[in-house]
Amino acid sequence: MNLYQVISRPLITEKSSFISTEEVNKVTFRVHVHANKDQIKKAVEKFFKVSVTEVWTMHYKGKPKRIGRNSGTSPRWKKAIISLKKGDKITLIEGV
């Protein structure tokens, strides 16, 4: 898998905004379903020029959806929480 395919987008939620403070220093991303922790670490270090200390990953199953008589599921996805070295910072959105 190419490193450009590993990170999909940052997740900006109330909880992820709280953990991105100076004291906690963690960032949350939505990543490719088949990406492992080593690939996620290398991609973040390459793109953002920071040092990653730890990576946590979570899998989310697709929820059942229904439109009229057609039913299916939303796609499954994977979330990664990246812990950065003290002093490093990734600024995704200023003033949030």
Q: Domains (ranges, CATH) in the chain?
A: 3-84 (3.30.70.330)
| pLDDT value at residue 75 | 96
Averaged over successive runs of 10 residues, the pLDDT of the chain (96 residues) comes to 92 88 88 97 95 96 95 97 92 64
- Rounded Cα distance between 25 and 82, Å, is 9
| pLDDT value at residue 20 | 83
Q: Can you list the alpha helix ranges (DSSP code H) found in 1-96?
A: 14-19, 37-48
Q: How distant is the alpha carbon of residue 57 from its chain centre?
A: 8
pTM over 0.95, yes/no: no
| pLDDT value at residue 95 | 55
- Rounded Cα distance between 65 and 89, Å, is 38
- Rounded Cα distance between 15 and 41, Å, is 21
- Rounded Cα distance between 80 and 37, Å, is 8
